[in-house]
């Protein structure tokens, strides 16, 4: 046995070319937090996440890391329980669970590296190409629907689905969706991400009614995920397939939506839900109920989980700076294939993330 010797953290801020509107939120920069776990034998594992402007590194340092140090490097699932129990008085869901998830991913990286296998092999998910979502465009009032449609169409070939964000201008959305429905390859589905942008089902249905007759793979995160009744009503009255789950930290909220049959696809943010350990359990639970699962960002991790993988155009979309600091990872060629390298199979640029001992 080798024990976990230390957990180090780092934070990096990368600018965006312009403010990005996501539902009711305005994003002006991307702040990332990272964790590096080190085993006593020198094996290391890494993970990163969007901080969403929360003090993720500090939460790891103050509330989570001590419960991982000394744990068996080959048993990340048991260490996850230690981290959860050790921080339960303030954690279980929310930011502390995200912090646990960040460390848990790094610990699985160590375990698979010590075993000399890629994580997908340790998890038994296989290396078949994964269904894929390309985050293709963020419409904005200063860009015509034709311009945005052309941006999406230029990238669409080979992807299972392409995704755009909703803009709160029904006439704009009507024109854009009509263009994309008419011109996208027949094998590529279209997703609209609302980003929890509607306050209730009434507002959602009134706006959707002005979109014409869009053909969507699904409508994503129309309301806050706790509003199961509202999500159900949107799904029922609009006739659109619905997916929910981005940024959710409480598995019970996701299970509640599935159990009442109100989502067509379950979205899992592997960091927010608490890491690989709870994510694999939730994926198995959804599979037993016939509900497909799609990952929210972090393609270097979700590619190992055997679920749908979401990514931005690698190195092209300026709203996703992650490719500038990730070294290695899966193959991004429409459908996404996980790497054969041991562990998670990627590293973080040391010029971007400077960990405690560096």
How many whole angstroms separate alpha carbon 32 and alpha carbon 13? 6
Give which of 104, 103, 168 is closest to 141, Cα–Cα: 168
pLDDT at res. 317: 78
Residue 316 CA to residue 128 CA, distance in Å, equals 25
Cα–Cα distance for residue pair 48/202, rounded to 1 Å: 37
Q: What is the reported pTM? A: 0.96
pLDDT of residue 48: 98
Paired tokens of 46:
């890494």
Q: Which of 2, 76, 99, 83 is nearest to 43 (CA)?
A: 2
DSSP 132-184: EEEEEE---TTS-HHHHHHHHHHH-TT-SEEEEE--S-HHHHHHHHHHHHHHS
Going residue by residue through the chain, which has 358 residues, state the pLDDT in tens, using 9 for 90 and above.
799 999 999 999 999 888 887 777 788 999 999 999 999 999 999 999 999 999 999 999 999 999 999 999 999 999 999 999 999 999 999 999 999 999 999 999 999 999 999 999 999 999 999 999 999 999 999 999 999 999 999 999 999 999 999 999 999 999 999 999 999 999 999 999 999 999 999 999 999 999 999 999 999 999 999 898 999 999 999 999 999 999 999 999 999 889 877 799 999 999 999 999 999 999 999 999 999 999 999 999 999 999 999 998 777 778 889 999 999 999 887 789 999 999 999 999 999 999 976 6
Angle at 85 between CA 97 and CA 4, to 5 degrees: 85
Q: Is residue 294 classed as helix, strand or coil in its secondary structure?
A: strand
Contacts of residue 163, Cβ cutoff 8 Å, sequence gap at least 6: 133, 134, 135, 136, 190, 191, 192, 193, 220, 310
Alpha helices in 303-353 (DSSP H): none
What lies within 8 Å, CB to CB, of 118 at 6+ separation is 112, 127, 304, 338, 339, 340, 341, 342, 343, 344, 345
Q: Give residue for tokens 């996440």.
A: 49
Residue 98 CA to residue 23 CA, distance in Å, equals 21
Tokens of 224: 């806050």
- pLDDT confidence of residue 331: 87
Cβ–Cβ contacts within 10 Å for residue 289, how many? 11
């Amino acid at each position: 046995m080798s024990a976990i010797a230390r957990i180090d953290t780092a934070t990096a801020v990368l600018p965006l070319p312009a403010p990005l509107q996501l539902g009711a939120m305005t994003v002006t920069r991307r702040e990332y937090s990272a964790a590096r776990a080190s085993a006593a034998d020198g094996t290391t594992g890494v993970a990163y996440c969007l901080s969403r402007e929360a003090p993720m590194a500090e939460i790891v340092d103050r509330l989570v890391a001590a419960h991982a140090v000394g744990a068996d490097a080959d048993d990340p699932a048991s260490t996850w329980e230690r981290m959860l129990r050790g921080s339960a008085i303030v954690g279980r869901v929310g930011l502390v669970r995200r912090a646990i998830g960040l460390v848990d991913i790094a610990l699985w990286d160590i375990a698979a590296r010590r075993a000399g296998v890629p994580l997908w092999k340790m998890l038994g998910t296989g290396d078949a190409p994964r269904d894929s979502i390309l985050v293709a465009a963020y419409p904005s009032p200063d860009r015509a629907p034709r311009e945005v449609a052309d941006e999406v169409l230029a990238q669409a070939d080979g992807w299972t689905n392409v995704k755009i964000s909703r803009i709160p201008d029904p006439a704009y959305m009507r024109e854009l969706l009509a263009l994309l429905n008419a011109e996208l390859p027949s094998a590529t589905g279209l997703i609209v991400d609302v980003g929890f942008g509607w306050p209730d089902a009434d507002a959602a249905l009134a706006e959707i009614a002005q979109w014409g007759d869009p053909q969507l793979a699904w409508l994503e995160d129309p309301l806050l995920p706790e509003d199961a009744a509202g999500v159900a009503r949107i799904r029922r009255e609009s006739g659109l397939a619905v997916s929910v789950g981005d940024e959710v930290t409480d598995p019970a909220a996701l299970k509640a939506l599935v159990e009442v049959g109100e989502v067509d696809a379950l979205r899992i943010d592997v960091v927010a839900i608490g890491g690989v350990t709870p994510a694999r359990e939730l994926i198995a639970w959804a599979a037993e109920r016939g509900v497909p699962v799609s990952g929210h960002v972090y393609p270097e991790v979700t590619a190992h989980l055997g679920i749908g993988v979401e990514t931005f155009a690698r190195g092209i979309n300026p709203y996703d700076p992650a490719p500038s600091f990730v070294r290695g990872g899966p193959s991004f060629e429409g459908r996404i294939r996980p790497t054969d390298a041991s562990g998670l199979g990627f590293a973080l640029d040391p010029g971007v993330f400077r960990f405690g001992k560096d």
